Amino acid sequence: MSSRLRDAGGAAGVAPEFTVDPAMLDAISPSGDRGGIVLGSGLKGEPLTISALRSTPTRIVLVGGLYLARQVAMRAMAVGAWVVVATGRPAAWQVLQKAAGTQQPGRPPLVQIRRLSPVDLPRPSEDAPLLVVTDGGPTPQDLFPPRSPWQTTIYVLPYLHPQAGATANAADLVLMQRLPAGQAELAARLWRLPPQMMRQLTTLKDDQVIALGLNLWRPLRLVTTGKEQQILGPVRRGD
């Protein structure tokens, strides 16, 4: 029924310890597949990885700023994913195309920036997984639901809105940056969080994120490489 939550460094004694339904996202754990993305570090500095690109259609919700969304997309590119961004603010995502560089003639670009309307998507595969980023505001339309293996759809929510509850509840993983008190109270209602977890959401530092899933509550610290800082700037919350 369950599998252990593990750290990328193999360290034991993580507190609190959770069990994770294996049908869910492989959560924060070391990954043997090519879809593992190192997102940040734990309280002891150990690297933490999410298996974001899997043989199962996957949904991830990001509640926070554009920085976090672009960093996750860049990490997906680094492990071989094609990235399609559907957004109403294309200029904000041009940095991804710059980071991808120039493709060989005759090959499609690694990063495609699209409008917020349905389009045909590249066909994903194990060798070429697909990350679709829906940057459609706090109540996004489900334009590109993950329907095939090796497709992951990320929903970028600048803040938690009551009408986004269905999108958030359908996610395999939710990554949340610091929330104001009112939004933390909404999060507590959506996911039935106890008071101490609700309070923790309001006290996160700019470089801290909560990973939330089925039987999963894990704080982590974002880690940015020097090259990423040149492209994205320093770690921050907000747009």
Q: Is the pTM of this model over 0.85?
A: no
Q: Are 75 and 48 in contact (CB under 8 A)?
A: no
Per-residue pLDDT at 27:
40
Where does residue 122 fall: left (phi above 0), alpha (psi -120 to 50 degrees), or beta otherwise? beta
List the beta bridge partners of residue 220. 209
- Asked whether residue 5 carries a pLDDT value surpassing 50, the answer given is no
119-160 tens-digit pLDDT: 888 899 999 999 999 999 999 888 998 989 999 999 999 999
CB 62 within 8 A of CB 153: no
Which of 76, 96, 61, 71 has its CA nearest to residue 176? 61
Number of Cβ within 10 Å of residue 121's Cβ equals 18
